Every structure is written in structure tokens, then in C-alpha cells.
Amino acid sequence: METTLPLFEDEPHRPLADRMRPTELDQVVGQEHLLAPEAPLGRMVAQQRLVSAVLWGPPGVGKTTIARLLADRSNLHFEPVSATFAGVADLRKVFAAAQQRRTVGQGTLLFVDEIHRFNRAQQDSFLPYVEDGTIVLVGATTENPSFELNGALLSRTQVFVLRRLDEAARHALTAMADGDGRYLLNMVEQLQALPADEQPLDTTALTRLVQQRAPLYDKAQEGHYNLISALHKSMRGSDPDASLYWLARMLDGGEDPLFVARRLVRFANEDIGMADPHAVQQALAAWDVYERLGSPEGELAIAQAVVYLATAPKSIAVYRGFGAAHKSAKRTGSLMPPAHILNAPTRLMKELGYGKDYQYDPDTTDGFSGADYFPDDMDREAYYQPTRNGYESQITERLRQWAALRAGK
């Protein structure tokens, strides 16, 4: 008589996640946008016209399982390779075996896990076999393919984005698994092993009994750029709460706090500027405090600066004005400053008119001479256009008064 192994017992050598691995495509959860009958992969399977593809998504969402099931549904031999361990010699053997199968009418689905770990030359080795149909290549990656895969390979594959699981379990358990279905099932297995008389678990008890998954964050790759972008745009959008959230996400993921501190200084100059001249001082102070105190105490100074910058008035008038001045400088070349603002330390220079008729502004009646400081052969330009936000509202009025005085003189 055939016996059926219980789901949570026996087979201690096989993790629960492996025992529960789907055996049919319709058993895969969370990726309906790709696998439903009218979705891209669903249509390919129905038409038996599978194309080479890259499956991009976080760990534990089913990339390997989907590739295996696609091969099964398409009557292709499934050949798995890990880019972590395989080299060019291994790939040659795989290609030779695929060519041999093809002579007897058997196709091959070559699944390359962590395909982003192959270098450009290794990636190029796939091209002729993809083009002539020897293999259907399915690569899996947790990294943005546009950064990690070369253009030739990307042009011959379709990229499908797998979603982070958000309905595989509920509330705290899902959050602790950070969307990783494999990790979630392993946590379920831990909970199943608890004594039968264990009290009902609240969030605190659950956290104590199972190990929370480390946040998915790669300081050197896309996660790094995504989260710093989220922090920057939240501060730019004057949302201190979202800004604190993304700051916490970065620090919890192991980001270097000094990287954040440097970014805050840049933000203060770029997005706030003269709307609040104290903003850059706050950012620099946070940097200084962190260098003196370190973590975790110094992180509070960074958080304070984040809130200050998020709630400060915003202006990119200096940023735009400096960019416009750069363009003018490149266009006008090496025009000399007007003679009246040049020093004349020698007799010859005085005879040439250097410094002649120069007006010392602080000594004038209005503290403003109205002189023209642009080159003689260049029309006056207005690069800096202050807003009416924060301190720049005062600057706007001051510039208006000076313009009137200049026109009068």
C-alpha cells in the first residue's frame, strides 16, 4: 500500500518549502500577472511557443519553480545551471548536449540561476544557441537586468518581473518573511514544532519564537539606489514621515549612515538652497555628530536633519541658475571682465584703464552702485530666479529694488 507523508512531519531532510513546491503552474501563487491564461507566460504555454526570458524578482517568489514548470508544460528538457558555480567549460557541455537532443527532436530549456553573476563574455556565449533555437534560455536574477545583462542578450529575451509575495500569509508573519515565500514556509515549519500547549501567539511572541528575515537590501546594487531615491523624493515632497521611514529602511538594511549624511548635504544645496540657507548647516552638523558618536546614537542626528530638510521650504533656483551660468560660460568663451573691476597694480595697467571709475558699493548712498559686472561684449543675463519660498521671498524683494536702482542709474 502506498503511504502519503504528512505535510509537517517526517522527511526532516526536506524543508517544508521544498515539500510544498508547486507541481503545476496553476498552483503558483502571487504571479497571476504572468501566469494567468491571458497573461504573457500563460499565453506562451497555451500556444506552446515559449521564448527565451529573464525572470526578475526578489528571492523566494518562485523563479526556479516557474522555469521548471514551463519546461514541463512545453515538453522541453529542463537543464538547470547556477552562474555561481558554472564556467565556460560547463556551458559548452550543456550546449553540446542540447544540440544532441535537438537531433532527435527534443528541445532544451536552459535555466540559469543568478544569471547576473555571469560576466559579459559568458553572457555572449548564449547568443548563437538562443538565436538558432538550440536552447530556450530562462535566466533568473534578483538584480535589475538593465544594469547587469548586456544589451545583446537583453535584445534576445523578454524580461518578466515577478512580484514580492504579499498575500501568502497574513500580517506579522508575512512582514517578518519580507515577502519571501520560501522563508515564510520555513517559519511556518518552526511554529508547527512548538509544544501543543503553547499559548496563542501575539506579534511579540511571534517575533520571539521565529527569526525575522533580514531586509532585502543590496548596498551596491539596485536596492541601494531605489531607497536613496525614495528618501530624496520624500524629503523633496516635504513628507517627514515617509522620509523617516525610508531612512529607517536604509539603516536597517545595513547602509552606511555616512552615505546618507553626504546625500543630505547634497539635498540641502540642491533642493532647498537659498529658501533656507541654514539647511546645509543642519546637514553638515548631522554629519559631524554622527562621526563623533557613531551608531546608534549618531543616527538620531541624521534623523533630525532628515526631518529638518523635509519640512524646510524648497527652491532649486540656485541649482538652475548655476546650470544656466555654466551654459553661458561655455558659449561665451574667454571674455575679459570689464576694466573697471580689474585691479591695477602696475602703471601700465592703470594706463590701460584697469580699475578706472570703479565704485565701491558700501560707500554709495544706497549701498548699491548699479555697475555692470558682465563682460563688455556680453548682454546682462538673469540666471538666478528666486522663488517666494522661505528666505528667498526676501531675496526676491531685494533684487527687485536693486533692479529699479540699476535702471535709474
Contact, 298 vs 290, CB < 8 A? yes
Terminal alpha carbon distance of the chain: 108
CA distances from 26 to 69, 93, 232 (A): 10, 33, 40
Q: Quick: pLDDT tens for 341-393.
A: 888 888 888 888 888 888 888 888 888 888 888 888 888 899 999 999 999 99
Question: How far is Cα 212 from Cα 208, in angstroms, rounded to an integer?
Answer: 9
Q: Quick: pLDDT tens for 3-55.
A: 444 544 545 566 666 776 788 888 887 788 899 988 999 999 998 889 999 99
Half-sphere exposure of 34 (CA within 13 A, CB side): 23
Q: Quick: pLDDT tens for 220-249.
A: 555 668 889 999 999 999 999 999 999 998
DSSP character at residue 271: I
Could you tell me the pTM of the whole model?
0.58
Residue 88 has pLDDT above 70, yes or no: yes
Tell the residue number behind the cell numbers 541654514, with chain if given: 278
How large is the greatest C-alpha to C-alpha distance in the chain, in angstroms?
A: 115
Task: Enumerate residues 6+ apart whose C-beta is below 8 A from 152.
Answer: 123, 124, 127
Nearest CA-CA partner of 83 in 66, 99, 63, 107: 63
Contact, 84 vs 121, CB < 8 A? no
Tell me the helix, strand and coil percentages in the chain, rounded to 5: 50, 5, 40
